[in-house]
């Protein structure tokens, strides 16, 4: 099962993407910031927030502040580039967590997996594989969004194609998770068989 909090964490980004397509990017940035804070603050108070939560707060705070400083013409240009900003920001963040050796998906997995398994190769490999899937989807959506801007496609088309990348990532996430659960079950059965032998 996919930890619902990872999908909830993406909601401000998705809503920003949709909102910036139909209303001003300035207002969409503040909506994204408000939603991110609503998700972040309860977790921060319990000290269970993730680096993705913190990144979202910083991203939307900077975007909201930048939108206040920009002229209406600059806001229009920002709106054209909003898909690249969203997916590019997520891509840079997610690949950075992989490169530093602690993929962002491990923080979510640690909420559902007992601590004694956190250093197992199964846990480390599956969480890295899931992170690679999401990171590839973010990168793909960034390229699609950038291509859309450069070619002049409408934002709704590139956002839709970007969301297809996210749907593929969800299926990849589920596939890797199911394989990890099956492998974990097999390892447990093998360990019990060895004890009985």
Q: How confident is the model at residue 1, as a pLDDT? A: 47
How far, CA to CA in Å, does 39 sit from each of 20, 54, 89, 128, 179?
A: 20, 10, 19, 24, 30
Distance CA 18, CA 21 (A): 5
Half-sphere exposure of 154 (CA within 13 A, CB side): 6
Q: How confident is the model at residue 83, as a pLDDT? A: 82
pLDDT (tens digit, 0 to 9) for every residue of the chain, 197 residues total? 456 667 777 888 888 877 877 777 888 899 999 999 998 999 899 988 899 999 999 999 999 998 888 888 888 787 788 888 889 999 999 999 999 999 999 998 888 888 998 999 989 999 999 999 999 999 999 999 898 888 877 666 777 788 888 889 989 988 998 888 888 787 777 667 766 66
Query: Can you say whether the dihedral through the CA atoms of 61, 63, 66, 68 is positive or negative?
Result: negative
67 and 76 Cβ atoms separated by less than 8 Å = no
In degrees rounded to 5, what are phi and psi of residue 71?
A: -75, 170
* Alpha helices for the chain (secondary structure H): 4-22, 25-45, 51-69, 72-80, 82-99, 105-109, 121-151, 155-196
Q: How confident is the model at residue 100, as a pLDDT? A: 95
Global pTM reads: 0.85
In degrees rounded to 5, what are phi and psi of residue 151?
A: -85, -25
What residue spans define the domains of the chain? Answer: 4-196
How far, CA to CA in Å, does 130 sit from each of 12, 115, 136, 142?
A: 21, 19, 10, 18
53 and 43 Cβ atoms separated by less than 8 Å = yes
Number of H helices, E strands in the chain: 8, 0
């Amino acid at each position: 099962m996919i930890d619902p909090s990872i999908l909830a964490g993406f909601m401000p980004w998705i809503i920003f993407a949709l909102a910036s397509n139909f209303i001003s990017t300035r207002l969409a940035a503040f909506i994204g910031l408000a939603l991110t804070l609503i998700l972040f603050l309860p977790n921060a108070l319990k000290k269970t927030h993730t680096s993705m939560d913190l990144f979202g707060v910083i991203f939307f705070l900077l975007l909201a502040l930048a939108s206040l400083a920009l002229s209406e013409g600059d806001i229009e240009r920002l709106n054209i580039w909003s898909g690249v900003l969203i997916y590019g920001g997520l891509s840079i963040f997610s690949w950075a967590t992989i490169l530093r050796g602690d993929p962002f998906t491990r923080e979510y997995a640690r909420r559902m997996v007992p601590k004694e398994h956190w250093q197992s190769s199964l846990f480390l490999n599956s969480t890295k594989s899931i992170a690679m899937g999401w990171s590839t989807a973010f990168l793909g959506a960034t390229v699609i969004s950038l291509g859309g801007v450069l070619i002049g496609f409408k934002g709704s088309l590139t956002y839709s194609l970007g969301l297809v990348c996210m749907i593929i990532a969800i299926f990849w996430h589920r596939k890797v998770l199911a394989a990890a659960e099956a492998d974990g079950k097999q390892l447990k059965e093998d360990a019990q068989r060895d004890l009985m032998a």
